[in-house]
Amino acid sequence: MNRRQLAALAGALLLGSTLTACGSDDDTASGDNSGVTLTMLMGVNNIYPEQQRAWFTEVSDKFKAETGASVRFETFASANDELTKIQTSVVAGQGPDIYALGTTFTPTAYATGAFVELTKDDWDKVGGRDRFLPATLGISGPDKEHEVGIPFASRPFVMAYNKDLLTAAGIDKPADSWDGLRDQAKQLTKDGAYGLAVGYADGFDPWKFIWAMTTQAGTPVVKDGKASLDGPNTKAAYQAYLGWLATDKVVDPAAVGWKNAQAIAAFGEGKAAYLPMVSASSKVSLDKSKVAGKYAYAVMPTIPPGATSLPSGGVAATSILSGDNVVVAKYSKHKDLALALLKQLTSEESQTSYYKTFGELPTNQAAATALGSDPALAAIVESAGKSLNTPFTGGWGQVQLALTNVVVQSIPDLSAGKVDDGKLAGLLGQAQSTAQEALDKAK
Amino acid sequence: MFLPGGVLTLLVILVPLALALYISLLDLDQYSIREWVGADFIGFANYVEAVRDSHLVHAIGLSVGYSALVTVGCLPIGLAAAVATQDRFKGRGLVRSVLLVPYVLPAFVVGSTWRIIFQPDGVANEVLGTSGLWLNGPRSFWALVIVQLWAGWPLVYLLAAAGLQSLDATVHEAAALDGAGWWAKLRHVILPQLRGPVSLALVISFLHNVNSFTLPFVLFGVPSPYDVEVLPVLTYVESFQNFEFGLSVAMAVVSLILVAIPMAVYLRAVRLDTGLGRR
């Protein structure tokens, strides 16, 4: 490369950086928007890829007819992908206008301060805050005045059960306490089938069990900025969860290596009576499996381990508040257009059609109410209403990881058929200090 | 000419490196990432935290230990394969290609496949007559060594084979005329000639293993079991799960120093830095 070529290269680099710096000017949803393209980032749907592509086109066409602007969708394959995209966009101050985020990730996104806090005026542009199911707004912001997340889809957790296996064992309905579930599971563990299918090696599922059990016991893992991961109820929750495999022997020993998908597969083979902690999206694989037509969904137990009724202070949460929120980037030059698009996406009509295509529950109140009458969905809709948000702190991601890490490091013991009390206490102590440190840093 | 190389080095290496060094001195996290230049300057606090409060020291020991084991293990396998495919025989081309398969497979595929093999009810336990865990607990370290060895030895083979190609046929003839047996030929003719390419292969293999992220990530997932919490995975978790960017970059700087040591030793040894080969 000679000096002139080098100068050309440097020039091209400079030009590139100045070009990206001058975007188009701010605009409103009304007026001429032709030529404007909004970008929305959302998770790729691996279960319905073709339908998702069709949905992208449909949304863009409809939006163009109404506002003149078109919508371009970008997808991410995993949460890590998404995080990388958000981080680079946030630092660069450019990127997608709208992001669809998992609910538990919303507090972390809020902590970056990179997304628009919705004013009353903004909510009105989305069609009003009261068009949403109140429960789905639980993790939109730290309080009503500082909300960034607009609820878009709801995916509450429930458990699936094999109707034939339960009937054969003389069990008329799923237990409502975790101890009861364990006892039923013992009864159901026979003839090559196990009581429960649990993905102990999953990167996400384990903490949700611990969160649910401790919340029900009245000692949530995080309260008012204080972590309590080393308390007796947390320990009892881990003992119950790990005990299913280690000491109660109601889970296939191979489950120490299972992720969620493998647990679903085992249940689908008819090798387990209960499959806790799944969302409605499991329906797609189960309806193609051996247990198609032989299973149903029920809400998970709401009475914590060691109890026969809900203790005082306990919350009968059936699931974490789970699903997707959408947020608008502060750097977006098209905020009003973005809100107009979200109005379109959260309308009763769009939400109903989204449910019919993808099986994700509406956050739109009218659409959700209409679905509640479907008996096949009863348990899932019930769980949606009884979901509880995880704590709204930017440090939640770390707490979640610390909770899961305890399970990961306990797996060798689990495999050896024991839950070592001293080791568990040590791991919980570590988790507690990690979690508290993260909460102390939270701003 | 200095200028093009100098500018490229500046743009591609020195600027990002300087930025990384600077970020490692900041309290950069999810709360300050948006305006990262304004993050609090905290001096060497990230380095202190990395050494004192994180698993960094353990991770370094682990990374260096397993990489050394894998590198040493690759040597005899790679050399043997190179020598065995040196002489012409029918189907040699095919054998040579097949030997490279583990190396050219994407790490993601290798990781996913071995993940299935190492399941508690998987093939590994069946074949070895063992039971229990491979992907967690003390045995996971050996699982990592086995998989990296499986995926890594063809590099030694490849470079050794290339080295053998360049051996002058007359040297072989001379050795044969002097009545050298195969061992003497291997020991006194072939191996000395291979010292260059093979030591390059060993350095690359070691560095590759120290830096390897995808394989342990896919094989064990995160949070990582303590016995296989290697340096790249630890760095990744601090950045992308715990959002401790400053701390994570400090760890990355430490690992950079770590990989720079064998690299420097090697560069000195072969005088690549001066452009003059040592005979």
pLDDT by residue for chain A (443 residues), tens only, comes to 455 554 444 444 444 433 343 444 444 566 678 889 999 999 888 778 899 999 999 999 999 999 999 999 999 887 677 778 888 888 888 899 999 998 988 998 899 899 999 999 999 999 999 999 988 999 999 999 999 999 999 999 999 999 999 999 999 999 999 999 999 999 999 989 999 999 999 888 899 999 999 999 999 999 999 999 999 999 999 999 999 999 999 999 999 999 898 999 999 999 999 999 998 878 888 999 999 999 999 999 999 999 999 999 999 999 999 999 999 999 999 999 999 999 999 999 999 999 888 888 899 999 988 887 777 788 898 898 889 999 999 899 899 999 999 999 999 999 999 999 999 999 999 999 999 999 998 87
Q: Which of B132, B225, B242 sits opposite A398 (nearest CB)?
A: B242
- Provide the shortest C-alpha distance from residue A91 to chain B (in Å): 5
Q: Of all helices (H) and strands (E), which one includes residue A101? A: strand A98-102
Contacts of B224 in chain A (CB under 8 A): 408
- Provide the shortest C-alpha distance from residue A165 to chain B (in Å): 24
Write the pLDDT tens digit of every residue in B137-196: 999 999 999 999 999 999 999 999 999 888 887 888 888 888 888 888 888 888 888 888
Contacts of B133 in chain A (CB under 8 A): 256-257, 411-412, 415
At B119 the pLDDT is 93
Laid out side by side, the sheet with A323-328 consists of A70-76, A37-43, A98-102, A323-328, A150-154
Q: β-pairing, A150-154 with A323-328?
A: antiparallel
Distances (CA, A) of B271 to A131, A330, B115, B156, B248: 72, 53, 41, 21, 33
Based on the domain organization, do A167 and A251 belong to the same domain? yes
In the predicted model, what is the mean pLDDT of chain B?
A: 90
Quick check: A441 and B31 CB within 8 A? yes
Residue A144 inside a domain? The answer is: yes
Write the pLDDT tens digit of every residue in A125-163: 999 999 999 889 999 999 999 999 999 999 999 999 999
Based on the domain organization, do A114 and A173 belong to the same domain? no
- What is the ipTM score, two decimals? 0.87
Q: β-pairing, A194-196 with A272-278?
A: parallel
Based on the domain organization, do A116 and A202 belong to the same domain? no
Based on the domain organization, do A306 and A333 belong to the same domain? no
User: Taking a C-beta distance cutoff of 8 angstroms, is the pair A217, A236 a contact?
Assistant: yes
Based on the domain organization, do A214 and A253 belong to the same domain? yes
Q: Which of A84, A91, A404 sits opposite B223 (nearest CB)?
A: A404
Q: Does B108 touch chain A (CB under 8 A)?
A: no
Residue A133 inside a domain? The answer is: yes
Quick check: A441 and B237 CB within 8 A? no
At B65 the pLDDT is 96
Residue A1 inside a domain? The answer is: no
pLDDT tier at B33, thresholds 50, 70, 90: confident
Based on the domain organization, do A406 and A381 belong to the same domain? no
**A-chain residue closest to B227, CA distance:** A409
Based on the domain organization, do A350 and A411 belong to the same domain? no
Homologous superfamily of B54-270: MetI-like (1.10.3720.10)
Burial class (CB in 10 A: 0-12, 13-18, 19+), B26: buried
The residue ranges of every structural domain in chain B are 1-43, 54-270
Distance CA B48, CA B246 (A): 12
Q: Which residue has the tokens 């990989």?
A: B259
Based on the domain organization, do A79 and A217 belong to the same domain? no
- Provide the shortest C-alpha distance from residue B201 to chain A (in Å): 31
Residue A12 inside a domain? The answer is: no
Based on the domain organization, do A271 and A398 belong to the same domain? yes
Residue A425 inside a domain? The answer is: yes
Q: What are the φ/ψ torsions at residue B187 (nearest 5 degrees)?
A: -70, -40
Quick check: B132 and A398 CB within 8 A? no
Quick check: B36 and A83 CB within 8 A? no
At A30 the pLDDT is 63
For residue A414 the two structure tokens come to: 């689990």
Q: Which of A87, A203, A398 sits opposite B221 (nearest CB)?
A: A203
Based on the domain organization, do A261 and A354 belong to the same domain? no
At B269 the pLDDT is 77
- Provide the shortest C-alpha distance from residue B91 to chain A (in Å): 41
Residue A89 inside a domain? The answer is: yes
Render the burial of B90-113: b for 16+ CB within 10 Å, e for the rest.
eeeeeeeeebeebbeeebeebbee
At B274 the pLDDT is 52
Based on the domain organization, do A140 and A269 belong to the same domain? no
Residue scoring higher pLDDT (A5 or B213): B213
- Provide the shortest C-alpha distance from residue B226 to chain A (in Å): 7
| Angle A18-A21-A25 from CA coordinates, rounded to 5° | 130
Interface of A with B (CB under 8 A): 1, 3, 6, 10, 80, 83-84, 87, 90-91, 108, 111-114, 201, 203, 253-254, 256-257, 394, 397-398, 401, 404-405, 408-409, 411-412, 415-416, 438, 441-443
* Position B279 pLDDT exceeds 80: no
Number of domains in chain A: 2
Residue A13 inside a domain? The answer is: no
Quick check: B36 and A91 CB within 8 A? yes
**A-chain residue closest to B229, CA distance:** A409
Quick check: A397 and B243 CB within 8 A? yes
Residue scoring higher pLDDT (B278 or A318): A318
At B70 the pLDDT is 97
Give chain B as a DSSP string: -HHHHHHHIIIIIIHHHHHHHHHTTB--STTTGGGGGGSPB-TTHHHHHHHHTSSHHHHHHHHHHHHHHHHHHHHHHHHHHHHHTTS--TTHHHHHHHHTHHHHS-HHHHHHHHHHHTSTTSHHHHHHT--S-SSSSTHHHHHHHHHHHHHHHHHHHHHHHHHHHTS-HHHHHHHHHTT--HHHHIIIIIHHHHHHHHHHHHHHHHHHHHH--HHHHHHH-SSPPGGG--HHHHHHHHHHTS--HHHHHHHHHHHHHHHHHHHHHHHHHHTTTTT----
Domain of residue A363 covers 22-148+322-388
Residue A15 inside a domain? The answer is: no
User: Taking a C-beta distance cutoff of 8 angstroms, is the pair A160, A282 a contact?
Assistant: yes
Select from A346, A371, A388 the last residue of a domain: A388
Q: Which of A256, A423, A439, A443 to mutate to test binding with chain B, by most B CBs within 10 Å of its CB?
A: A256
Quick check: B225 and A408 CB within 8 A? yes
CATH number, residue A277: 3.40.190.10
Give A278-333 as a DSSP string: E-TTHHHHHTTSTTTTSEEEEPPP-B-TT-SSPPTT-----EE--EEEEEEBTT-S
Based on the domain organization, do A187 and A292 belong to the same domain? yes
